[in-house]
Amino acid sequence: MKYLHGQPHALPGHGQRLAAYEARHFLFAVEAGVATLTLNRPERKNPLTFDSYAELRDLFRALATSEDVKAIVIAGAGENFCSGGDVHEIIGPLTQLDMPGLLAFTRMTGDVVKAMRACPQPIVAAIDGICAGAGAMLALASDIRLGTERSKTAFLFTRVGLAGCDMGACALLPRVIGQGRAAELLYTGRSMSGGEGERWGFFNSLHAPAGVLAAAHAFAADLARGPTFAHGMTKKMLQQEWNMGVDEAIEAEAQAQAICMATNDFHRAYHAFVAKQKPAFEGD
């Protein structure tokens, strides 16, 4: 039996329930199929630590086989999303590591993004205030991003003498906002405002700071009530088709759609349509 921070969970291929999971380095709660993950160090603008990186990686891996989580909201406590890696708890210690240690760290941070993209549940990010560095990558790795006018998103890596290619940024950001715009942000490390982020397609929509989390929950709750198996298939195809030619993509989608046509949700939708009713999806 495997364990997630001391708590037993099912082996891959078997459903597990995460409603009782007690996070150590952030807040985590599940209600009506929606998991809410809240970075919770508001006095420091919710920075990440070695431990929170590792727990995020493990939790998103566990979500891949969760029975009770159908959609995920990720947010920051207070008036900011995430300021990136903690300067004192991460950046300072990194200057003392040898190359194998540095590579182990950068691979771990990249594994967080891999786990977010691999889990089948749609991830909705509620982004207010500062969204910087690794925090910007958590936002970028999400499926839907809701922001505010005062959101400030910055891929700060070059500001500290690092390349702008951290945690998959050079692969993901051009696909979201375009090559030229991504290059500008990654070379300069400058902040992208909320309005600019919406115009460029980084944010799906903007909301009042007091309402952005509620909007994210409403979006996620609507997804959780939908055909969640089909949502997982959609996310998988959005990820996989980046590396396919058009002919390969069409064939892959033919196979994916045939699989979805064999689900009970597809049959429920048909019978509900015939009866002039709204389908009640169950995710199977």
Q: Is the pLDDT of residue 91 over 90?
A: no
Tokens standing for 81? 């999303």
Q: 71 pairs with which residues across the strands?
A: 34
Mean pLDDT, to the nearest integer, of 16-25?
A: 92
For residue 240, pLDDT beyond 80 = yes
pLDDT at 16: 83
Strands 191-193 and 205-206, sheet pairing: unpaired
Give the rounded percent of residues in the chain with a pLDDT score beyond 70.
95
Average pLDDT over residues 90-100: 89
Tens digits of per-residue pLDDT, 181-204?
999 999 999 999 999 999 999 999
d(CA 282, CA 80): 35
C-alpha 124/C-alpha 143 separation (Å) is 6
pLDDT digits (tens, 9 = 90+) for 108-123: 999 999 999 999 999 9
Indicate if the pLDDT at residue 173 is higher than 70: yes
Q: Which residue has the tokens 């902040």?
A: 191
- Residue found under tokens 């290619």: 165
pLDDT in tens, 244-262: 999 999 999 999 999 999 9
Res 3: pLDDT: 33
Q: Is the dihedral of CA 52, 58, 64, 66 positive or negative?
A: negative
Average pLDDT value over all residues in the chain: 92
What is the side-by-side order of every strand in the sheet holding 144-147? 27-31, 34-39, 71-76, 123-126, 144-147, 205-206
Q: Calculate mean pLDDT across residues 165-169.
A: 95
- Report whether pLDDT(83) > 80: yes
The predicted pLDDT at position 14 comes to 52
Given this model, what pLDDT does residue 160 score? Answer: 87
Taking the CA of residue 239 as centre, how many other CA atoms within 13 Å lie in the half-sphere pointing to its CB?
20
